[in-house]
Amino acid sequence: MKNKYSIFSLVKNAFSYHENWEKAWKDPEPKKEYDAVIVGGGGHGLATAYYLAKKHNIKNIAVVEKGWIGGGNTGRNTTIIRSNYLWDASAGLYDHALKIWESLSQELNYNVMFSQRGVMNLAHNLQDVRDLKRRTHANRLNGIDAIYLNTEQVKKFCPIINTSQDIRYPVLGGTLQRRAGTARHDAVAWGYARGADEMGVDIIQNCEVKGIKRNGDSVEGIETTKGFIKTKKVGVVAAGHSSVIANMAGLKLPLESKPLQALVSEPVKPIIDTVVMSNAVHAYVSQSDKGELVIGAGTDDYVSYSQKGSHDIVEGTLNAILELYPIFSRMRMLRQWGGIVDICPDASPIISKTSIKGLYFNCGWGTGGFKATPGSGDLFAHTIANDEPHKLNAAFNLNRFVSGDLVDEHGAAAVAH
């Protein structure tokens, strides 16, 4: 049993100069065999292991991670959380996650700094207005909080936005989901890792998967840089590298991996207390607790695993940001980075069984996976434990690309993919 984090443990550890905190997770060598192995130690993978152990009573689990936990897209995203998706299947999936977010810090005894500061999506042309109104109605029918704002209400909610009608893409209105917001991305990975470790999950870092061993149509184990690990169930949550792992098992996925960039500014005093996203001009911005503006750019249109994107993508995003927020014109940017996102043709994820028994994939989250972390882990754990999808992820199966029953969220996503 781990020591509970609390104000008392903080005070107690202060007396020993914070040098005697218990390790949040162990650093074990892999055992020879596990009941289930999760490939990928990001938020989704660690959450999957956590819920497998907690809700499905599978304790002999390993999470193998080629780098360090939370070092991939979990640590590279812009931490936006919302559930205002158009289609019923997506609304169910993302709102399931949002509901878990609301009590996650308490459940994990780890402050994930979930902040329901609201997410506002802007409309810049007549079609945007129609689309956003339609989405607001769809959201409300699905029990998701959403309101439509006119230009004055947008200005009132976020005064630094330039609502002049003379700019190239004037703000004509917007939607607001007040339950939406942000969370601390590293804390999500660390909190789930700590919780999973406590229930006996082995978190094995610096362990890259090199092959998937099959016996006919079922999985026998995985080859890794730390040797062979025998297991009958492999859950792959490898984000941009999903196709690479699938290829090891002789599968092809409907994914393309592309660089997605983000950047942060120098820290300043509080200036924007919400998240504002704009699809038409592709700009979204929020402010971290440290005071940095967190800005998300778009994806490059070519396949790349290089974890760096093109400069013109950043330039385009900053042009849009400056037109919408002239107040930022003299701010300096501190850091810029890229992550590799796995994009599905319908911009919806895959949480699914495969044609190989015991091999499961959770991928295709594209540019918007962070928000779904807790729900994704919960539903993927259910799928792995029962060898059947939960009703909330049934629509997100691999077979939809054969049946044609796609969940097309291109038009409804808050930013263009």
Partner 1 sequence: MFLINCPFCGEREQSEFKAGGEAHIVRPKQPTELSDDEWAEYLFMRKNIKGIQFERWNHVHGCRKWFNMVRDTSNDQIKAVYKMGEKPPVK
**CA nearest to 173, candidates 144, 140, 141, 134:** 134
Which of 401, 408, 416, 417 touches partner 1 by CB under 8 A?
401
CB 82 within 8 A of CB 146: no
Tell me how far, at minimum, the Cβ of 342 lies from partner 1, in Å.
8
- What is the rounded distance in angstroms from the CA atom of residue 94 to the CA atom of residue 91? 5
Number of residues counted as binding partner 1 (CB under 8 A) = 25
Question: DSSP code of 56?
Answer: S
CB 291 within 8 A of CB 269: yes
**CA nearest to 127, candidates 388, 417, 416:** 416
Instruction: Using the Cα atoms of residue 342, residue 346, residue 348 and residue 352 in order, give the sign of their dihedral.
Output: negative
Cβ-based nearer residue to partner 1, 81 or 398: 398
CB 89 within 8 A of CB 407: yes
Cβ-based nearer residue to partner 1, 256 or 378: 256
157-165, 229-237, 255-263, 388-396 -> range binding partner 1 (CB under 8 A): 255-263
Tell me how far, at minimum, the Cβ of 85 lies from partner 1, in Å.
21
Which of 254, 298, 339, 374 touches partner 1 by CB under 8 A?
254
Cβ-based nearer residue to partner 1, 72 or 173: 72
Q: Does residue 312 belong to the site contacting partner 1 (CB under 8 A)?
A: yes
3-11, 23-31, 124-132, 249-257 -> range binding partner 1 (CB under 8 A): 249-257
Which of 255, 277, 413, 414 touches partner 1 by CB under 8 A?
255
- What is the rounded distance in angstroms from the CA atom of residue 166 to the CA atom of residue 233? 58
Which of 20, 57, 165, 403 touches partner 1 by CB under 8 A?
403
Binding to partner 1, residues 335-364 (CB under 8 A): 345
Tell me how far, at minimum, the Cβ of 399 lies from partner 1, in Å.
9
Tell me how far, at minimum, the Cβ of 309 lies from partner 1, in Å.
8
Q: How far is CA 174 from CA 85, 163, 179, 414, in A?
A: 15, 12, 16, 11
CB 393 within 8 A of CB 379: yes
Cβ-based nearer residue to partner 1, 102 or 315: 315
Q: How far is CA 293 from CA 2, 111, 264, in A?
A: 35, 21, 5
Cβ-based nearer residue to partner 1, 72 or 191: 72
CB 325 within 8 A of CB 312: no
Tell me how far, at minimum, the Cβ of 405 lies from partner 1, in Å.
11
Q: Does residue 310 belong to the site contacting partner 1 (CB under 8 A)?
A: yes
- What is the rounded distance in angstroms from the CA atom of residue 235 to the CA atom of residue 387? 11
Q: How far is CA 97 from CA 124, 133, 228, 392, 407, in A?
A: 29, 23, 34, 11, 18
Tell me how far, at minimum, the Cβ of 58 lies from partner 1, in Å.
31
- What is the rounded distance in angstroms from the CA atom of residue 385 to the CA atom of residue 36? 9
Q: Does residue 244 belong to the site contacting partner 1 (CB under 8 A)?
A: yes
Which of 14, 126, 306, 332 touches partner 1 by CB under 8 A?
306
Rounded to the nearest 10 degrees, what angle do helices 185-198 and 43-55 cross at?
30
Which of 81, 149, 253, 372 touches partner 1 by CB under 8 A?
253
Cβ-based nearer residue to partner 1, 169 or 401: 401
- What is the rounded distance in angstroms from the CA atom of residue 19 to the CA atom of residue 80? 33
Cβ-based nearer residue to partner 1, 244 or 280: 244
Binding to partner 1, residues 276-305 (CB under 8 A): 300-305
Cβ-based nearer residue to partner 1, 241 or 353: 241
Tell me how far, at minimum, the Cβ of 350 lies from partner 1, in Å.
11
Q: Does residue 248 belong to the site contacting partner 1 (CB under 8 A)?
A: no
Write a three-state SS string for 174-197: EEEECCCEECCHHHHHHHHHHHHH
Cβ-based nearer residue to partner 1, 67 or 291: 67
Q: Does residue 137 belong to the site contacting partner 1 (CB under 8 A)?
A: no
Cβ-based nearer residue to partner 1, 52 or 395: 395
CB 236 within 8 A of CB 361: yes
Question: Which residues of this chain interact with partner 1, rule CB under 8 A?
Answer: 241, 243-244, 247, 252-257, 300-306, 310-312, 345, 401-404
